[in-house]
Chain A
C-alpha cells in the first residue's frame, strides 16, 4: 500500500455535503494534482463527523488539526500554507464562541473533548466504503470471536453483562431479548435492524450507517449467531439514500471476504443480510409494524403478546435491534461485557449518542457516557444558547418524549432518571429551546406530527390525537375557553392508557410535559389571549412598542414584505395592511419591542 504523508479526512456526511463539501473536494483534488502532491497526500471522504454546524469540516491526520466552514476558495491557501509550508491556516480553524480562542486540534475542542466514542468510534476516522480500514480498527474481530470461540449462550451472557439496552427508545436489555429468541422454537429465525429512524430531530442512526456501516453488519451477525438466525434484514428509511448506498456496498464487500453468507470464517455458520427500504411511514419504527411492512403489508402494529421473539417476521422468532444498539455489539464481544459496563450509572451502562439541535451553539451529534448531566451536555458540549438568549427547556425523545425545564437540568442521562422528570431517553433527539419558543406551539407541532402519522388502526390514537390537535389549534388561535385545558388532560390520560402500540401510548407526552412545567403559558393563551413567547401569530398585535424600540432598524432589514417603515434615529412602524405575519421581525428584534 502506498504510504501517505498526510491523510485528509473530509466529512462526506449529509450535512457537510449540503454545505458544499463536494465542490471543496473537487477543488482540493485538482489542486493537489496540480502541485504534484497527490501521491503524498490522500483525501478520504468519511462518514458524518458529527459537528454539522460548522461544516464542511476536515481533519488533517496525523496532526489532528481540525478545519471548519471550508469553501473551494480556501483550497489554494490551504495547500500552499499548510500542506507545503506546514503552517496551519489560522482563519479556518475552530474558534471558541465565548472566549474567541483558536483551538487547532480536534480533540481539544470542547465539543469533542467531553465526548466518549464507542458506537461512533470510527466516525470520521475511516473510509466508510473500505472494509479493510474497518478491519484495521479491530472490525469483525468481535464477530470472529463470536462465531469461532463462543457458544450462543456465552454471547448472550456477555451482552447481558454489558448492560446494553435498546437504543431505539424503549431501553429493553438487548441480552434478555436475545435470550428469549434463542429459546424460541423454530427452524427459521430472523435478525432485523431497525434503521427507520423517524423521530424528528434525531439523526444518529443515519450518521452511524453513513460513517461505519460494517459495525452494524457485525452486530447483526453476532446477534444471528446468538439466536441461531440465518437471515437478516435492515429496514432503512427511504429518505436516507446515502446510507442505503453505503450499506449495499458494505454487504457486498463482507460477502466477498467470507464474513457474510455461507460458512462464515469457516465456522459452518450461515447468515446473510438484505436491505429493505421503507416507504415513508413513521409508525414503521414500531417493531410489529416494521415486520408487517417487510411482509409487504400496510405498516400497522398488532397487539403483543405474542412477542416478536416468539412470533415475529412471517410468524418466525425474530430479534429486532436499533442501529446504535447493534453498532455497540462488536466491541462488547471483543472487549467483554465488563468493559462496556465500566462506564454509566447503576441501570444505564455505556454511552448514548444524542442529536443536539435547535437553539444551541454546537449543533451536531454527540456521544456521551451515561450519567452525564443534561446541563453539561447542553452548556459544555453544546456551547450554550446562541444570541445571548435564555434557556427555556429541552425536548428529549421526540414526539414520544417530553420537555425538561431549567430546574431539572442537573438530571443525569439515565433511562429511569429522565423518565422521572417526565421525558424519555428515546432515540436520543435533544432539541434545545430558548425563551422565544412557545410551549403551546411546540405541543401543537408534535401533535400535528403524531395525528398525521397515526396509522389509524386503534381509535384512541386515531381520533384522540386529532381532538387534541383541534383543541391546541383553538387555543393558539385565541379561541380557547375555560375547561379546554382540563379536557386536554382527560384526553391525554385516555390515549395513554388505551392505545394499541407505543406510538399511541406515548403520543400525549409532549402535551402532558408542557402542561406539567408550563401550565401558566397555556393559561395565558386561554384566559388572557396572550402568547408570552410571542410565537402564536393570532395573539400578537404586530405593533412596535415605542418605549422599548431602540431604533436599530433590524426589523426593517428582515421584513420580507416591506411592511416596516424605519429611518435612522427613528422608531420603526409596522403597516398592518402589508404585514404577512411571518414573525421575522419578532425574531430579529433584540429589545423585545414588537408586541
Chain B
C-alpha cells in the first residue's frame, strides 16, 4: 500500500490499474510514469518507489528515468502550467521580457510553483508555433504574439 497525503483512494486505484496493465510490457516505465503523473499531478518519491516495485524494476532505474525527462516533476505542480517558449524564434521576438514579468509578478522562477499552487512556470524549448512568436501555453491553450502586459492579462483569467 502507498500512503501519501496527495494521493486519494481513487488515485491509488487508478495507479494500480496502470501498473497492472503494463507489468509485462517491456519498456513500459515511461508510459506508466506519464499516466501516474496525469493521475496525481506529479510524482512523489513514494510513488516512484511504488511503481518500481510494481514493475519489478530497480528503484534507481525508475528514478533515473523520472529525473532524466523534463516532462516528469517530482514536486507538486500548480493547477495551471504556464509554458513560456524560449525557442529561437520567440527569443528573437523578445519573449524574455514576458517571462521576466510573469516571474516577477508571481514571484516564481522557471520550474517553480506559486505557494497557492495556482501556477507552475516552465521555460520550454520551441513549442513549434514559431509563426506566432513569442508564444506561451497555459495548460493546453496556446497564445501567440504575447507582450508582457498581455501575458499577465491572460494569466489573470486562470484561477
Contact = CB atoms under 8 A, between A and B. Distances in A.
Pick the most buried of B31, B71, B144: most chain A CB atoms within 10 A of its CB: B144
A408 B30 CA distance: 45
Interface in B119-159: 124-133, 135, 140-144, 148-149
Contact of B88 (A431, A583, A584): A431
A238 B33 CA distance: 13
A240 interface: yes
Contact of A296 (B29, B70, B86, B142): B29
Pick the most buried of A238, A239, A437: most chain B CB atoms within 10 A of its CB: A239
A359 B92 contact: yes
Pick the most buried of A19, A55, A197: most chain B CB atoms within 10 A of its CB: A19
A280 B89 contact: no
Nearest to B83: A239
A429 B125 contact: no
Given A277-B31, A296-B29, A582-B100, A200 B89 contact: yes
Given A359-B92, A395-B88, A560-B101, A15 B132 contact: yes
B34 A240 contact: no
Interface in A306-323: 314
Contacts of B64: 298
Interface string B84-106: 00111101111001001100000
A230 B94 CA distance: 47
A295 B126 contact: no
A357 B65 contact: no
A203 interface: yes
A293 B135 CA distance: 28
A198 interface: yes
A296 B22 CA distance: 12
A358 B131 contact: no
A398 B91 CA distance: 13
A496 interface: no
Interface residues of A, number: 58
Contacts of B133: 357-358, 363
Contact of A198 (B69, B94, B126): B126
Contact of B97 (A53, A55, A295, A582): A582
A293 B128 contact: no
Contacts of A435: none
A297 B27 CA distance: 7
B132 to A, nearest CB: 5
A239 B140 CA distance: 10
A206 B69 contact: no
Contact of A281 (B33, B69, B141, B148): B69
A66 B154 CA distance: 30
Nearest to A398: B88
Interface in A185-235: 197-203, 206
A83 interface: no
A18 B28 contact: no
A14 interface: yes
Nearest to A359: B92
21 contacts: A18-B142, A18-B143, A55-B131, A197-B128, A198-B125, A199-B126, A203-B128, A239-B128, A279-B69, A279-B72, A280-B70, A294-B27, A295-B27, A298-B65, A314-B26, A358-B92, A431-B92, A453-B125, A582-B101, A584-B97, A587-B94
Interface of A: 14-15, 17-19, 51-53, 55, 197-203, 206, 238-241, 277-282, 293-299, 314, 355, 357-359, 363-364, 395, 398, 429, 431, 433, 437, 445-446, 449, 453, 455, 560, 580, 582-584, 587
